[in-house]
Structure 1
C-alpha cells in the first residue's frame, strides 16, 4: 500500500547519502515510523550496519516493531526487533531495533562508538522526552569524536525544525504532507463548570448518538480514566466496549485496547497522552480531548517533585486531534472554548526543563561529563536543577565530592533505574534484602496500588503496600488479601520485581526471599536508602522536620503520625510545608546503625532568658534533625563569649548599657564618618551589632551572665576605636558644645532630623553674623532659636538671612510678650546677654 512518506523517501536517501544528519517532518498517518527504517535498510552507506530507532513510549515501540516485521512477513525478533526495559526481542539477524526509555543511553554508555549501528532515528522527537534529549546529545558527541559516518535522523509531526537543524550543523529539513483526513473541530460555547469526569461522560454519550466509529477520549490520568469508565459502564449497552489505555497497564491489555472492536461492537478508549502519537487506535473516528496533561515537575528550591495537572499545549492538542483523521474523516470535541484555545501555549515545555535531573546527571558522570555545557543540547538543563541533582548523587555516594563517578555510581547506572531506587537496591543487597528491595522499588516507581482513599481514611503507610506484595510473592496474588489493590496490578509488579531481582549484582551475601517480618522491619530503612534527604523527625506540634530542613505534615488520623521518625517516599510540595502522601517508620537504632557516619556533633551555646546565664548543649545531628542532645554541659570561656556576642547580634544593640554620654559619642563619630570620610569607624547600631566580635569581645573576659554587661564602659570602648589624631579632630570638628556670643556653652545634638543642631535663646546670639559650621566647614549647625522662656521661636540653618528677613517680625512679637527684655534694632551690633538686658559699661 502506497503511503505519503514514500514520496519523500528518495530525497531522504539522497540527503543521508551526502550528509550524516537530517530532519524529517511528516503529518500523522504519513507512515514515517514504520516505512522509513525499512526503506533505508539497504542503503549503500549503511553497508549492512543496523538501525536503532528511539520511540518515546513502550507501547509504540512494540507496535512499530510488530508492524514492520509483519511487512517483511517475519516474526518480531528477526530482521526487526525491539528492546525496552525488562523486555527484549532481538536476534543475531536483527538489523532494525526499536528501543525506548534509557536503552539507547545504555547502548551508548556500553559502546560509545555504537559499533554495528549505522543510523540512529529519534522518532516523535517533538515530545522532548528527557531520555531523547540525552540520547541525542550523546549521539552527537559520538558522531563528532568517534563516528563521523554515523547517521542521525530526527522525525516528528509537529516539531519546530529550525532549532533542531541548527543544533545538527544546519542539517537538511525534509517535509512530507502526510495523508490525514478532514477533522471537524467542535468547541464548547462557554467554559464549563462541571467536574471533568461529568463533562467527559456527557460528551461521550453525545458523540455516541451523533457519530459512527470508535471514540478516543483523552484524560489526564488513571484516576480520571477509572471514574469515567465506571460511570459509562453503568449506563451503556453491552455492545459498547469501554477500555482504558495508560502506560503502566499490562502489555496485553494495551494491545487489546488499540485493536479494532469485535464485529457489531463500538469501542470507547479512555487514554492518557500515551495515545497522542506513534500508534493508531483502530476504528477511531471521534476524539474527545479534555485539554489537560499530568506531568512531574521538580522544584530545585525544595529538592522535591510533585505531580501537577496543567493545560496541554497547542502542539499536543493538534496531535490528539489528528488521531481522529488517521483512517477516515472524523470529528474532535475540545472541552474548552475557542477563546481559551487562542490562549494555549504553542509548545509543550521540554521535560529537561521541568523534571528531576538526577538520572541525567548520573548518566553524564558515567559519560565523563561534569557540566551539561560540554555537550550539545536543544535546551540546556537548568543550572539550579542540575546542581541539586549532583548534590543528591553525592549523598547517594554515586559521585565523589568533585563530581566524578564512583564505583557505586557505576553500578547504579548499570541497573537502569532512577538513582534513588538503584542506590536502595544496592544497599539492601548488602543486607541480604535485595529481593525485598526490588518489591519495594516497583511500588515506589509505579502509581500507588491502593485506592488513594479507603474506608478507614487515607492510608499513607508504605508497609501496607509492601506487605501485600510480599504475601503475593509467597502465595500468589489470587490467594492474598489485596486490601483494595487490583490483582492485575499486583501480578504485573511481581513480574517486574522478579526481573529486577534476576539482575541483582553480587553483594557477597545470600539474597533472602522476602518475608512479612522483614517487610515490616526493613521497609522504612530501605526507603531511607532511596530518600535519605526525606528522613523526618516528629515535632511537638505533630508535624515533621525533614533532614533537608524542609517541614512536612501528615494527617493526624494516620497511624504513622505518632511515629518519632519516618521517611517520606512521596510528598506533595504545593504548600508552605510538604504534605506526606506515602511514608514508612524508621527506628532510632536503624538511624544509629546506618547513618552514624553522616551525623555531626555540634555544641550549641545560647542565652537562657529564664536564668540570665549562658547554657550549653551537645547535639548529635543528621542534617537538620537533632537525634540526641546532652544539656547543661560546662561551656568554655570562648563558647560563653560567642554566646554573649550572638545574644547581642540576635537581640539588638540596646542590650548594652548605653547612657546619654556614650550615645552622644556614637552620634559624633557617625557624623564625622558621614562628612569626613570612611576612615572613621562605622559605629551605627547595625554595624556594631553585625560586627560585635572585633570591637566588643576584648572586654568580655570573665563574663558569664547577662548582668555582666552592666560593667561595660561603652564611652571608653567607643573612644578606643579612634586613633590619637581622630580623637583630637573629633573634639575640634564635632565638639560636644559650642560657645555663643553670650559666653554660654551650648550642647550640640548630633542625633535626629536636622542634626547637628543647638537650642539657644535669641538674645544670646546677638552679634553673631553667620551660622557656625563643623566638620571642616562641611556641615552647618541648625539653630533652634528660643524665646526668653526657652520656647521655640524659629528654626534656621542660615543665620544671616534670619537677621535680614525674619528678625524684625520675631522682635515685634517677642517685644509685646517680653517688654522688659532687650530687643535691639540692630542685632548684629548689639551685645549678647544671658540676662534680661546686657550689663551697662560704667567706664
Structure 2
C-alpha cells in the first residue's frame, strides 16, 4: 500500500463537488503514480482524460512506465507520455504524462482543453516558468471556459498556505508518507581539495558499506554533468570494489543509458549513482540506502543587460537539501552525508528562486500575447516577472519582428509562436524556411537547443558535421525532431521561398538568431567585442581565434567577459548585407595627443564595420564633444580668469535673494554649456577661448536690467573712507566680506551694506601689520564696545600709529604718526 493512499477517499470526495485541490506529500509517498490511477474511475472524469505534468522528460517517461507497469500494460495503452521529440499514446490513453512545456503549448492551442477532465501539476515546488504559466492559464480557462475542469497541484516541499491563497477555494490534502529513519552526518569540506576530489574521497570510503548481499544504492548529488564525469574519473583512480556499478544520471544522457541507471539493481550488484538535481524527485531508484550531497546545484540565471543566460553553481536551498536527504529513507533506513557543517544548515535559503524571476522571458511575453494579454496582471501567479526582464523580452520580440511598436503580435510573431522552441530559434527557422532551407535551419535549432549535440567544438561547421556523422539513438531522435520542425516551419511560410545563400548559410542563420552577438576581433588573437558591447573570447589556439568577425551562438559566463562556446566566421561583406537595415551611420570624434579627428563610421551596435576620416570636423560635433569633455573635467578646463569667478560669486549672492537672477553654478553652466558658450566658439574650440570671451558670454546671461543693477546691488569693490577701493569677496563663508586695516575705517559711523536686502558686509579688521583683530557685521557696536580693549592692546604693539579714544570722530588713515609726535 502506498502511503498516499490514506488521502484517496477524502480527495476523491472533494473533487466530486469542487474543482481545485492541493496535495502535499513527501518523496516516496507515491503521489506521482498513485493519484492519477486513483482518479481514473471518478464519475466526473467519464469520457475524459487526465494530463499529468512533470518537470523533465526523464521524469515523464519514468512516471508513465511505472503506472503502466502497475496496470500490467505497455506504455501507450491506458498510460502514455508526450515529451519533446518522443511520444507514446493511443486512442486508449486515459492518462497522458507530459512535460510542462508541452502543456503550455497545448493550452495556448486549445484554451478549453477539450477532452481533458483533470490537469495535475506534479512537483510544483520546482516553480519552473512553464509550470507557473501553465497553472495560471489553466486557472484562467477554468474560470471562463471550463468550470468543470479539475486542477490538482502536488508537491513534496511547498509553501502550502501561499499556494492556497493563489488557488482560492482549493482543498488541502496532506499525506505524512512513510519515511524510514535517516541518520544525517555532516562531513564538512576539505578546502585543500577540489570539490570533486573531496566527494570521491568520501564516496570511495563509504562504498565499503555496499555489500553484494544487499545490493543497495548510494545516490551522490553533484551540480552538473562535468562534475559527474570528474568524480567518476577520481573513483576509477581510487578504485571501488569490482562488485559495485558506478552509474551516471543527468538530463543530456541518452535515454537508454538513463533507463539502465534507473533499472533495478542486478543481484549482487550494488550501485553508486552520480546524479544532478534531476534525481531529487519523481524518479525511483532501487534500494537507496545512502545519499551523499555536495550541497551545490547549478541553476540558470538570465542577465537582461547582457541578454545571456549564465549557469551558476550555488548552494542548495533547504527544501532541496531535505528532498535529497529524503531519498535515503524511502524504502529502508538510511544515511545522509552532507559535505558541509551542521551550523551551515541555518544559512540555507528556504526555497530556490522561481524561474520566472531568473530566466529569459521572451517566451513568456510571446505566450501572453497569444493568450490575449500583454502583461501578467490578473493571472494567478505566485510571483510576477521583474519589469526590467519583461521590458528586455519585449525589446527582443520587437527586434525579431514578432511584435510591432505597440507591442501587438505581428503575422511573423504569430508564425514564431506556432513553433515549439524559443522565439529566437523560431525566428531563425522561419527565416530559413523562407529561403527554402527549413531542414538546415531545423538542424541548427536542434543543435542550439539540445546540450551536447555535435561535440564541444566552438566551430559551428565542425559541430554540424559531427551531428551529420553521428548515428547514435540520441542523435537519431534529435534528427527526427528536426525533421518535424522543418515540416512545421515550411508549412508556415506562405510566400515562394527565396534561394538559400550557399554553404555558409548556416552562419547567416546563426547571425540572424543572435544579431547582438555579432563579434569583431580586437587586440590579441581570440579577443572579440560583440555588437552589444560585451567582450568575449576563445582560446588563442582555437581555429576561430584569428577570424575578423564571428556570429556567436553560445556563451559561457564570466565576471567581466564571456567565453565563446559556439560561433561561425563571417566576413564584413556578409554583415553589411545581412544587416543592411540595422546599420547605423554616424560621424564620431576621436581625441589623440590633445587633438580631435572626425570619422564617418558604419556601425552594428557597438562594433565599427567601416571608418572614413574627414578633413574638416563638423562644428556641431566638435561643440558636442568638447562640451562632454568639459563636463567631465569641470569648468576649470576653460581656465576661467579670476574676474569670471568674481562675477559668478556676485550673481550667486544676488540669486540667493532673488531667483530671477541667472544660475551660474558649476552644475547649471556645465549642463547648458553648448547654449551659452557654444555661439562664441563659431566653429573653433571652446577650450581655446580666452577669458575675456568667456566673461562676455557669462555677462550676456544677464538681461539688460540685471547688467545695469549688478554694480549697484553687488559692487565688485567697496570704497573705503580713505578713498581706496577694496575687492569684496562674495564667495566667503558667512556672506560678502572685506579685509581692511581698522585705521582705514576711522570716522565710519554706519556699517556698509550690499544687495537688495541690505546685507551687512562682514568686516575682517586687521592691525597695521595685517594681523586679524576682530570680525564684525556691526561696526558702530564694535566702536562702542570692544574697541577700548583693542585700542589698549594696539597702542602697546604699534605705538607709532594713531589709536583715538573716539574712532567715530577721527580721520581715517593708512600712515603712522610723523616722527617726533
User: Taking structure 2 as the reference length, what is the TM-score of the superposition?
Assistant: 0.92
Shifted more, 551-560 versus 821-830: the winner is: 551-560
Corresponding residue for residue 25 of structure 2:
26
Contact 1:563 1:585 in 2 (8 A): yes
Cα shift readout 1:578-603 (whole Å, capped 9, x = no counterpart): 34343332211211111010112222
Corresponding residue for residue 537 of structure 1:
520
Contact 1:657 1:709 in 2 (8 A): no
Kindly state the Cα deviation for residue 295 of structure 1 after the two structures are TM-superposed: 0.8
Among residues 222, 227, 230, which one is paired with 1:227 in the alignment? 230
Does residue 278 of structure 1 match 2:282? yes
Does residue 250 of structure 1 match 2:258? no
Shifted more, 741-750 versus 141-150: the winner is: 741-750
Corresponding residue for residue 571 of structure 1:
555
Q: Distance in 1 between matches of 2:687 and 2:444?
A: 59
Report matched runs for 1:157-306 at 5 Å. Answer: 157-188=156-187, 193-211=192-210, 212=214, 213-234=216-237, 235-306=239-310
Q: Residues 323 and 499 of structure 1: is their aligned pair in 2 closer, same or farther, counting only changes over 3 Å?
A: farther
Report matched runs for 1:330-345 at 5 Å. Answer: 330-345=334-349
Q: Distance in 2 between matches of 1:451 and 1:527?
A: 18
Instruction: Give the SS at the match of 2:611.
Output: strand
Corresponding residue for residue 51 of structure 2:
52
Among residues 620, 640, 652, which one is paired with 1:670 in the alignment? 652
Kindly state the Cα deviation for residue 683 of structure 1 after the two structures are TM-superposed: 1.0
Instruction: Give the SS at the match of 2:332.
Output: coil
Q: Residues 801 and 579 of structure 1: is their aligned pair in 2 closer, same or farther, counting only changes over 3 Å?
A: farther
Corresponding residue for residue 841 of structure 1:
none
Does residue 428 of structure 1 match 2:432? yes
Corresponding residue for residue 760 of structure 2:
780
Cα shift readout 1:657-710 (whole Å, capped 9, x = no counterpart): 743333322221111112x13211111233112102332344344x34558733
Corresponding residue for residue 481 of structure 1:
none
Instruction: Give the SS at the match of 1:682.
Output: coil
Cα shift readout 1:132-160 (whole Å, capped 9, x = no counterpart): 00101111111122112211110111111
Contact 1:130 1:352 in 2 (8 A): yes
Kindly state the Cα deviation for residue 379 of structure 1 after the two structures are TM-superposed: 0.9
Does residue 760 of structure 1 match 2:726? no
Report matched runs for 1:83-98 at 5 Å. Answer: 83-98=82-97
Q: Distance in 2 between matches of 1:276 and 1:124?
A: 10
Does residue 120 of structure 1 match 2:123? no
Q: Residues 512 and 183 of structure 1: is their aligned pair in 2 closer, same or farther, counting only changes over 3 Å?
A: farther
Q: Distance in 1 between matches of 2:74 and 2:382?
A: 37
Q: Residues 47 and 804 of structure 1: is their aligned pair in 2 closer, same or farther, counting only changes over 3 Å?
A: farther
Report matched runs for 1:131-150 at 5 Å. Answer: 131-150=130-149
Cα shift readout 1:102-155 (whole Å, capped 9, x = no counterpart): 111111111111111111110111111111001011111111221122111101
Instruction: Give the SS at the match of 1:824.
Output: coil
Kindly state the Cα deviation for residue 569 of structure 1 after the two structures are TM-superposed: 2.4
Contact 1:606 1:647 in 2 (8 A): no
Shifted more, 715-724 versus 638-647: the winner is: 638-647
Superposition RMSD on alpha carbons, in Å?
A: 2.8
Contact 2:638 2:687 in 1 (8 A): no
Kindly state the Cα deviation for residue 272 of structure 1 after the two structures are TM-superposed: 0.7
Cα shift readout 1:208-236 (whole Å, capped 9, x = no counterpart): 22355111111111111112223334523
Q: Residues 660 and 59 of structure 1: is their aligned pair in 2 closer, same or farther, counting only changes over 3 Å?
A: closer
Kindly state the Cα deviation for residue 300 of structure 1 after the two structures are TM-superposed: 2.2
Instruction: Give the SS at the match of 1:78.
Output: coil
User: Taking structure 1 as the reference length, what is the TM-score of the superposition?
Assistant: 0.90
Report matched runs for 1:319-358 at 5 Å. Answer: 319-358=323-362
Shifted more, 108-117 versus 42-51: the winner is: 42-51
Contact 1:69 1:80 in 2 (8 A): yes
Among residues 573, 583, 601, which one is paired with 1:599 in the alignment? 583
Contact 1:22 1:172 in 2 (8 A): yes
Among residues 696, 702, 727, which one is paired with 1:722 in the alignment? 702
Kindly state the Cα deviation for residue 532 of structure 1 after the two structures are TM-superposed: 1.3
Kindly state the Cα deviation for residue 643 of structure 1 after the two structures are TM-superposed: 5.0
Q: Distance in 2 between matches of 1:837 and 1:769?
A: 23
Q: Residues 147 and 522 of structure 1: is their aligned pair in 2 closer, same or farther, counting only changes over 3 Å?
A: same
Q: Distance in 1 between matches of 2:665 and 2:122?
A: 66
Contact 1:607 1:644 in 2 (8 A): no
Does residue 823 of structure 1 match 2:803? yes
Cα shift readout 1:375-428 (whole Å, capped 9, x = no counterpart): 221111111111111112222222222222222222222221122222222223
Instruction: Give the SS at the match of 1:527.
Output: helix
Instruction: Give the SS at the match of 1:602.
Output: strand
Q: Distance in 1 between matches of 2:684 and 2:694?
A: 18
Q: Distance in 1 between matches of 2:500 and 2:651?
A: 78
Task: Could you tell me which runs of 5 or more consecutive residues in structure 1 were left unpaired when the two chains were aligned.
Answer: 453-458, 478-486, 839-843
Kindly state the Cα deviation for residue 45 of structure 1 after the two structures are TM-superposed: 2.1
Kindly state the Cα deviation for residue 191 of structure 1 after the two structures are TM-superposed: 5.9
Q: Residues 192 and 511 of structure 1: is their aligned pair in 2 closer, same or farther, counting only changes over 3 Å?
A: farther
Q: Distance in 2 between matches of 1:131 and 1:111?
A: 16
State how many pairs are aligned.
810
Q: Distance in 1 between matches of 2:559 and 2:188?
A: 34
Contact 1:538 1:564 in 2 (8 A): yes
Shifted more, 316-325 versus 119-128: the winner is: 316-325
Cα shift readout 1:333-354 (whole Å, capped 9, x = no counterpart): 1222211122211112211111
Corresponding residue for residue 686 of structure 1:
667
Does residue 308 of structure 1 match 2:308? no
Q: Distance in 2 between matches of 1:764 and 1:259?
A: 108
Does residue 460 of structure 1 match 2:441? no
Q: Distance in 1 between matches of 2:625 and 2:193?
A: 61
Q: Distance in 1 between matches of 2:691 and 2:334?
A: 91
Cα shift readout 1:244-298 (whole Å, capped 9, x = no counterpart): 1111111121111111122221111111111111121122222111111111111
